[in-house]
A and B are shown apart, each in its own frame.
Chain A
Amino acid sequence: MSALKLAVPSKGRLQEQTFLWFAARGITLERTGSGREYAGQVLGIDNVELVLLSAGEIPRELAAGRIHMGVTGQDLVVEKIPAWEMQVAQIAEMGFGHADLILAVPSFWADVDTIDDLDAAAAAFRKTHGMRLRIATKYHNIVREYLRREGVADYQLVDSQGATEGTIKNLTAEAVADITSTGDTLRANHLKILNSPPILASQATLFASKTASWPPTAKAARTELITRIGADND
């Protein structure tokens, strides 16, 4: 049996919305066993095996070719897979899980509205404090590449895997680069988003691995799946 391995987020709202999205296209994904067991099945289409994985691990598994297809955020794919377009194909944007990767600074910084302002403030900050202005993020690769492209200097990235908005108040960073959907958490922490398009506009997306081996049964299942969801097969 060489079924197509389809990975979806192992829990939470992202999983619910993924199940609904497939159900609307006549494909039933469901969990099996007890509620806490990470097992599931696919009904309504042959030779597709459901794999439940943390959304953060799905990019790595796709790139390694251990799963054929997977649902995860574009932000995670771009951050975690170098030259991601060479390793995975984007099959369908799913219209939920919207999140923008943005840069934010304290709201009271009335002199900083744009990325150019941030660059100038970083120069002055380094002179005053003898260290580079710290930007807390977990999206190191995307943010570093963005700031290089924008020609920003005198900053450093510091790692923050959670509660990133709190780092400024805790004096471990001066600015943050993080995912936001409504901006509520930012506002609650007295932060404002810089006046520029987001670094990355992300949503939940169905990806296919370019590195996995695709035996005929898996390939056929992929063709069928793609026809059912009305996407292009490339």
Chain B
Amino acid sequence: MQASARAYLEGGRTGAGLAALRAEVGRLMAGFAENGAVAVEPAALLPADILIDLYGEDLRARAYTTHDPILGEQMLRPDFTVPVAQMHLESGAAKGRYAYAGSVWRRQEPGSARPVEYLQCGFEAFGDTNTAQADAEVFALLAEALRGAPVAPIVGDMGIILAGIAALETTAPRKAALMRHLWRPERFKRLLERYAAPTPQNKSRGALLTAVKTNTLEALLGTHGPTIGLRSVAEIQKRAEVLLEDANTPPIPATQVALLERALGIKAPMGEAIKALRKIAIEMPALTLATDMIEARAEAISTFGIDGFQLPFEASYGRTTLEYYDGFVFGFAAEGRTDLPQIAQGGRYGALTRAMGRETPAVGGIIRPEALLALGGDT
């Protein structure tokens, strides 16, 4: 790669190429500012512990880490969402809208052609309590910024799977386990299958459950080995009780699993998807509220001059992109350009603010300006 090349753009670091990119970023930032966003510039080097705590150990395989003898482990900013949310939560303000532009860094698989450094230009809105309206506004704002570019939108809603899990006829711990693996679709599927079948029991598990029932767990643990480490006998006792409850829990009815899987398999224009969801909601009424939200959002999007009911909808979209999306999710793909990533993407992430200590309505999205320029078109 030449020194003047950057993500998706030859010569994007010098002369006319750089000027064109700066103009494009300026245009996007101006559009965000017109919609009430304050410009922010988070640090490029972030404390690793906060990010790992939020995203998990997997992040280490995707982000660059470096070590400072005083500050400890640091990470090159893998995205803007966390530092921008931090800025907002620290401000103490109920509402806030922010715009930013800058590099993010991601490690890539060996042999991958994807860039390790690229620009993101984004908009985040916190504290808007009218969910459908705020979702529609962010989506329309990004759609407007991309007007004239050959991109195809796609939308989804994590609310369906959340409502579906809540509706299952099963125990709270099982629902919590399913919720925990929402963003790991394969693991989620395995769990759901396990919960839909009678709980199998091997000899070791049988002995454990008997010991809980007969109050002899401590004696049983003693035969296994001495108590070492931070995880205590009380914690084992607690989990053994959960396992005992689980062993006595009837399987989730197959009809419910089928309904949930049917709902998650929906791929259709939003208007059609709403009809299909209403049909499923006859047997799974808990989906009604989630469907009402999708309909309200489609209507709100339509007030921005985009036919919300014609947008391609996929019920499982967003489950592998990023943990913490827990409502509306959307993306704009570069049509016919497999060499380019999604040109823009975003969604609602209240779960992230909850994990950060103060739950706040939060929705936002990013555009990749280099990829957008590489795509050409008439923006």
User: Interface residues, chain A, CB within 8 Å of chain B?
Assistant: 82-83, 86, 106-111, 113, 120-121, 123-125, 128-129, 132-133, 140-141, 144-145, 147-148, 150-151, 153-157, 168-169, 171, 173-174, 190, 192
| Binary interface encoding of chain B residues 198-232 relative to chain A, with 1 for a CB under 8 A from any of its CBs, else 0 | 00001011011001000001001110111111110
| A136→B19 CA distance, assembly (Å) | 49
Q: Is the CB of B229 within 8 A of A169?
A: yes
Q: Which of B111, B184, B224, B239 contacts A108 (CB 8 A)?
A: B224
Known contacts: A82-B110, A109-B236, A110-B204. The answer to whether A156 contacts B231 by CB under 8 A is no
Partner of B239, one of A83, A124, A154, A173: A124
B57-70 interface code vs A (CB 8 A; 1 in, 0 out)? 11011000000000
Q: Is B238 on the interface with A (CB-CB < 8 A)?
A: yes
Residues of B in contact with A (beta carbons under 8 Å apart)? 52-53, 56-58, 60-61, 109-111, 177, 180-181, 184, 186-187, 190, 202, 204-205, 207-208, 211, 217, 220-222, 224-231, 233, 235-236, 238-240, 242-243
Contact B220 A155 (CB under 8 A): no
Q: Report yes or no: A121 in contact with B239, Cβ–Cβ below 8 A.
A: yes
Query: Is the Cβ of A154 less than 8 Å from the Cβ of B56?
Result: yes
B202 CB to closest chain A CB (Å) equals 8
Q: Is the CB of A111 within 8 A of B243?
A: yes
Of chain A, the residue at the smallest CB distance from B58 is A148
B110 touches A86 (CB 8 A): yes
* Residue of A128, A150, A151, A174 touching B229 (CB-CB under 8 A): A174
Q: Identify 25 residue pairs between A and B in the complex whose beta-carbon atoms are under 8 Å apart, listed by A's number.
A: A106-B227, A108-B224, A108-B225, A108-B227, A109-B224, A109-B236, A110-B204, A113-B202, A121-B231, A121-B239, A123-B177, A125-B231, A140-B60, A144-B58, A144-B60, A148-B58, A150-B187, A151-B187, A153-B56, A154-B56, A156-B52, A156-B57, A157-B60, A190-B225, A192-B224
Contact B224 A107 (CB under 8 A): yes
In the assembled complex, how far is the CB of residue B152 from the closest CB belonging to chain A, in whole angstroms?
30
Question: What distance in Å separates the Cβ of A166 from its nearest Cβ neighbour in chain B?
Answer: 10
Task: Determine the chain A residues whose CB is within 8 A of the CB of B238 once the complex forms.
Answer: 124
Decide: B208 and A108 in contact? CB cutoff 8 A: no
Q: Considering residues B109, B204, B229, B233, which has the most beta carbons from chain A within 10 angstroms of its beta carbon? A: B229
Q: Are B230 and A129 in contact (CB under 8 A)?
A: yes
**Shortest distance from the beta carbon of A230 to any chain B beta carbon, whole Å:** 32
Give the residues in chain A near B110, CB-CB below 8 Å.
Answer: 82-83, 86
Task: Report A202 CB to chain B, min CB distance, Å.
Answer: 21
State whether B111 touches A86 (Cβ < 8 A). Answer: yes
Selected from B53, B109, B181, B239, the residue in CB contact (under 8 A) with A153 is: B181
A113→B203 CA distance, assembly (Å): 11
Do B228 and A190 have beta carbons less than 8 Å apart? yes
Contact pick for B57, options A111, A123, A155, A190, CB 8 Å: A155
Q: Given A111-B236, A113-B205, A121-B239, answer yes or no on A157-B57 (Cβ-Cβ < 8 Å).
A: yes
- A133 CA / B230 CA spacing, docked (Å): 10
Q: Which residues of B contact A145 (CB under 8 A)?
A: 61
Question: Closest CB-CB distance, B138 to chain A, in whole Å?
Answer: 28
CA–CA, A174 and B230, complex, Å:
7
With contacts A144-B60, A153-B56, A174-B230 taken as known, whether A83 is within 8 angstroms of B109 at the C-beta atoms is yes
Residues of A within 8 A of B109 (CB): 83
**Complex Cα spacing A172 to B165, Å:** 36
B57 adjacent to A132 (CB under 8 Å): yes
A106 vs B239: C-alpha distance when bound (angstroms)? 15
A113-B224 Cα distance, complex, nearest whole Å: 12
- How far in angstroms is the closest Cβ of chain B from A143? 9
Roughly how many angstroms separate A108 CA and B239 CA in the complex, as a whole number?
13
Q: Which residues of B contact A132 (CB under 8 A)?
A: 52-53, 56-57
A79 to B267 CA separation, bound complex (whole angstroms)? 41
A125 lies within 8 A of B229 (CB) = no
Contact A108 B230 (CB under 8 A): no
Question: A128–B110 Cα gap in the complex (Å)?
Answer: 38
Cα separation A106 to B217 with both chains bound (whole Å): 16
Cβ–Cβ < 8 Å partners of A109 in chain B? 224, 231, 236
- Nearest A residue to B241, CB-CB: A111
What is the CA–CA distance of A40 and B53 in the complex, to the nearest angstrom?
A: 50
Please determine whether A169 and B204 come into contact, CB atoms closer than 8 angstroms.
no
